[in-house]
């Protein structure tokens, strides 16, 4: 099995790779943003494993998607997780393999959270 890649962005934010939804575990192409070790944010297609979704993505068409927010039970939210949660609640874009994917989402999310640090 391939080891997931993880890189820290400051003290509170980390990018971590994972397999695609329904994809092989040995191919960690998806990226998640982890804030304060307790909050996980990512961007995935709705109906990610449906044949229609896969056909559209492979033919470079956009598909409906969602920004997901998960947290560990008892997690205490900080300003960083609150900003990230707000970003996700406003993120209403389709997923496209080249123009708007989980990686571009992750970078935009990190930029938004850290931009507000000033």
Rounded mean pLDDT, 44-54: 94
The answer to whether position 70 is within a domain reads yes
More confident residue, 94 or 22: 94
The pLDDT of residue 43 is above 60: yes
Range of the domain at 22: 6-115
The answer to whether position 82 is within a domain reads yes
The answer to whether position 93 is within a domain reads yes
The answer to whether position 62 is within a domain reads yes
The pLDDT of residue 15 is above 80: yes
The pLDDT of residue 60 is above 60: yes
Give the pLDDT band of residue 92 (cuts 50, 70, 90). very high
Rounded mean pLDDT, 19-26: 86
The answer to whether position 86 is within a domain reads yes
Residues 6+ apart with CB under 8 A from 2: 26, 27, 28
The answer to whether position 1 is within a domain reads no
Q: What pLDDT, on the 0 to 100 scale, is given for residue 39? A: 97
> Count of domains in the chain?
1
The pLDDT of residue 81 is above 90: yes
Give the pLDDT band of residue 4 (cuts 50, 70, 90). confident
Residues 6+ apart with CB under 8 A from 46: 53, 63, 64, 65, 66
**Percent of the chain residues topping a pLDDT of 90:** 75
Rounded mean pLDDT, 20-38: 90
- Tell me the whole-structure pTM to 2 decimals: 0.90
């Amino acid at each position: 099995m391939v080891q997931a890649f993880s890189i820290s962005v400051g003290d509170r934010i980390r990018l971590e790779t994972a397999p695609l939804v329904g994809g092989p575990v040995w191919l960690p192409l998806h990226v998640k943003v982890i804030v304060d070790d307790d909050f996980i944010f990512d961007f995935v297609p709705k109906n990610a494993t449906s044949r229609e979704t896969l056909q559209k993505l492979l033919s470079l068409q956009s598909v409906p998607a969602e920004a997901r927010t998960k947290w560990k039970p008892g997690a205490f939210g900080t300003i960083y997780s609150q900003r990230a949660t707000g970003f996700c609640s406003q993120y209403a874009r389709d997923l496209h393999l080249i123009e708007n994917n989980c990686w571009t989402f992750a970078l935009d999310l990190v930029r938004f959270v850290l931009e507000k640090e000033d």
